[in-house]
Structure 1
Amino acid sequence: MSLAYNPKYPSIPDLRARARKRIPRFAFEYVDGGCNAEINLRRNTEVIREVQLKPYYLRDYGGISLETELFGHRYSAPFGISPIGLQGLIWPEASEILARAAFESNIPFILSTVATASLEKISEITEGQAWFQLYHPVEEELRDDLLQRLEAAGYNVLVILSDVPTFGYRSKEIKNGLAIPPKMTLRNMLQIAGRPSWAIRTLLAGTPEFKTLKPYIPKGMSLRHLGLFMNKTFSGRLNADRVKALRDRWKGKLVIKGVASEEDARKAIEWGLDGIIVSNHGGRQLDAGEAAITPLTAIAKKFGDQLPVMMDSGIRSGPDIANVMASGADFTFLGRSFMYGVGALGREGGQHTINMLKVQLQQVMEQVCCETPRDLRKHLIGREGSGERGQGSGF
């Protein structure tokens, strides 16, 4: 595998450090922080790195392929880009940069309802290959209009969000005025002045806004009233009726993101979902929750032969991807890691991060003598039976 990346930034921590120097503090802390004391933010990665893999050095080894099939599409690697709101706040046109890099590298990109690029624009960039994450609207009329737009734009995978029934308490965002409604304080303006490259590019690109939602937001609405509008228009709490209505209406693949228990995984299957993304919203919602890999292991073992079980939250490297795949995941997603990449390197950041992660993952797989990502579960140490499930699901 010959993949180019900037050798000055060979890890996600390197990209994070560079991004911190290039973007205003309020923007960096928005993407970097978690809720409350940020305990679960740290726990997510720490527990992933407790996983151990067994190498087999003397077996026949036929070479490596990172390619992974999911929903009938053969992706070039077993990871994709998670949905993040307000991406353009971190770096101008970040959504477009990451969508383009994902498409060119043949990995999935998930667009958030509250991203700063329209669903139509991202579909154009990815030729209809992107996924879309839906914050569930309160009104059926708005829900149906969004679904019609997604269908017209060629989206096939709809991700519904389950783990934001209420907004997380994030003290850094509150201090920085980034809790809805956002505020542009003197402190924030001084931070912008100290990051002239970010400021100039943001000025040229235009103020970040929720472009997918723009048709529904009354013109001339102040920031204060925009916050009230968002709270009134969207409800993050899902139930059987809402999910079943989406299942009846949406003809493509329907995935639920934010599952963190076997009970919810069982309901997802009963309600006809096509896939599960185990996630705790990157530690941004519940500080006292488990690391995402903990329920992932149990859910994959119990339900992995019935539908694809994926995971995000806490993944920061190729070895992390390997550990999550070894623990039973069929696919993985990373959010902050890609935002650090774009914050650090701008337009080159998406491709750099993808290539770097591929190289890191390949090295681990070659080291343990593993030929495909799915076979990583055969190298898992200490979790009896985890490597045996879901061998023939064909997703």
Structure 2
Amino acid sequence: MDSRYPSVEALTEKARQRMPGFAFDYLSGGCFSDVNLARNTQEIREIQLQPHYLRDFKEASQKTTLFGKTYDAPFGIAPVGLQGLMWPNSCEILAKAAKHHNIPFCLSTVGTASIETIADITKGDFWFQLYHPADNDLRDKLIERAYQAGCKTLVLLADTPTFAYRPKEIRNGLSIPPQMTLRNILQIITHPRWAIEQLITGSPEFKTMKPYIPKGLNMKHLGLFMNKTFSGRLTEDKIKAIRDKWSGNLVIKGIVNPADAERAIKLGVDGLIVSNHGGRQLDSGESTINALGDLVKKYGSETTLMMDGGMRSGVDIASSLASGAKFTFLGRAPMYGACAMGKQGGDQVLSILKRQLQQVMEQVGCEKTDDLPLHLLNRK
């Protein structure tokens, strides 16, 4: 681990220095006034853990079994769109790091690496998040590609029924359709390392979607095409149709209320990821840690409850697990690592998170992650 960057906060600051402002804003920003973005982390950090110092204690193990597979840590890398815009090849960098650290990597439909590339890097050990297409034929093609590539866990995204209002992206020309403004060009010029890496790698593309995108579209028409392709919300009928087709693990991401959780469980899904899209969709929504509490009480014994959103450290991961999450996912933190350090960034951030979580478990006297709820002090 590089001692110059011992925390996600240090990696974030380094990433800010290396990236053009529009790229950093895309990664770090939420929607509207960033209220829910801040609430996610703030309310996780209101959780308190109680240590036990006089009990017998052997050692702390982070190994966690999820859907029949044992991972080396209770967290994975969440799906993030347009990673290559933020730092070239960051999608591939993080997939390699996830494989090396034996944790799950989840690829987004709108990621900048293809299903087949990530399958090759991870030896088929990856998750795929599906933005449900408006066209069922395209849906079936994407699902079949994921299955043929060895994917065992399909994640259906529920929390993006509409495009969010993100002022920073609008100002930076990264709305749909995107625009390259003079302001953005000046930012690129003043960040030569990013610009050189982009020239070497090539412009970021939606690699998984590339076979279905008409050739020769300019940026405006590409934006309109993607807008039309992924219009609409996830419904019970859509979930049923996919459940019938998909023989692997089926997970719904973006569940924050008991009514939706009950519907999803009745439809036969294998797990739920409590998520508000990293605070990027609804500024007046509740934090993920708060939503998790009610869902754990009602459905914690009926399904596998996971969580993402707001975690920036191993302490945050421990607090989320103590609150009842079986597993956690982080999107921004790994990306800050890749943007700050390039090829070494994935290993750096995962090493930080594992070391921090290990220290917390040893400090409170917790031998396995499943026992972290026994150390929850302020039960909500």
- TM band (smaller chain): over 0.9
Matched residue, 1:300: 296
- Percent identical pairs in the alignment equals 59
Matched residue, 1:390: none
Matched residue, 2:258: 262
Match of 1:204 among 175, 182, 200: 200
The yes-or-no answer on 1:350 pairing with 2:336 is no
Instruction: For 2:7 and 2:100, locate their aligned partners in 1 and report how far apart those are by CA, in whole Å.
Output: 21
SS at match of 2:265: helix
Matches within 5 A, 1:1-395: 5-383=1-379
Indicate conservation of the 8 Å contact 1:161/1:236, yes or no: no
SS at match of 1:183: coil
Instruction: For 2:109 and 2:266, locate their aligned partners in 1 and report how far apart those are by CA, in whole Å.
Output: 26
TM-score by length of 2: 0.99
Q: Deviations over 1:217-272 (max 9, x none)?
A: 00001111111111111135111110000000111100000001011111110111
SS at match of 2:11: helix
1:63 is displaced (CA, Å) by 0.7
Decide which moves more: 121-130 or 230-239.
230-239
Q: 1:350 to 1:271 in 2, by over 3 A?
A: same
Instruction: For 1:236 and 1:350, locate their aligned partners in 2 and report how far apart those are by CA, in whole Å.
Output: 34
Instruction: For 2:91 and 2:241, locate their aligned partners in 1 and report how far apart those are by CA, in whole Å.
Output: 29
Q: Deviations over 1:124-144 (max 9, x none)?
A: 000010100000011111111
Instruction: For 1:70 and 1:340, locate their aligned partners in 2 and report how far apart those are by CA, in whole Å.
Output: 26
Q: Which runs of 4+ in 1 moved over 2 A?
A: none
1:18 is displaced (CA, Å) by 0.4
Q: Deviations over 1:300-354 (max 9, x none)?
A: 2211111110000000000000000000000000000011111101000001000
Instruction: For 1:175 and 1:136, locate their aligned partners in 2 and report how far apart those are by CA, in whole Å.
Output: 28
SS at match of 1:314: coil
Matched residue, 1:387: none
Instruction: For 2:144 and 2:373, locate their aligned partners in 1 and report how far apart those are by CA, in whole Å.
Output: 39
CA RMSD, Structure 1 to Structure 2 (Å): 0.8
Matched residue, 1:391: none
TM-score by length of 1: 0.95
Instruction: For 1:144 and 1:41, locate their aligned partners in 2 and report how far apart those are by CA, in whole Å.
Output: 33
SS at match of 1:111: strand
Indicate conservation of the 8 Å contact 1:135/1:236, yes or no: no
Instruction: For 1:47 and 1:214, locate their aligned partners in 2 and report how far apart those are by CA, in whole Å.
Output: 39
Instruction: For 1:241 and 1:298, locate their aligned partners in 2 and report how far apart those are by CA, in whole Å.
Output: 26
SS at match of 2:4: coil
AA aligned opposite 1:307: T
AA aligned opposite 2:263: K
When the two structures are aligned, how many residues end up with a matched partner? 380
Instruction: For 1:9 and 1:147, locate their aligned partners in 2 and report how far apart those are by CA, in whole Å.
Output: 39
Indicate conservation of the 8 Å contact 1:6/1:352, yes or no: yes
Q: Deviations over 1:180-203 (max 9, x none)?
A: 111111111110011111100110
AA aligned opposite 1:374: D
SS at match of 2:302: coil
AA aligned opposite 1:27: A
SS at match of 2:328: strand
Instruction: For 1:231 and 1:340, locate their aligned partners in 2 and report how far apart those are by CA, in whole Å.
Output: 27
SS at match of 1:53: coil
Indicate conservation of the 8 Å contact 1:35/1:284, yes or no: yes
Unaligned runs of 5+ in 1: 385-395
Instruction: For 1:185 and 1:232, locate their aligned partners in 2 and report how far apart those are by CA, in whole Å.
Output: 24
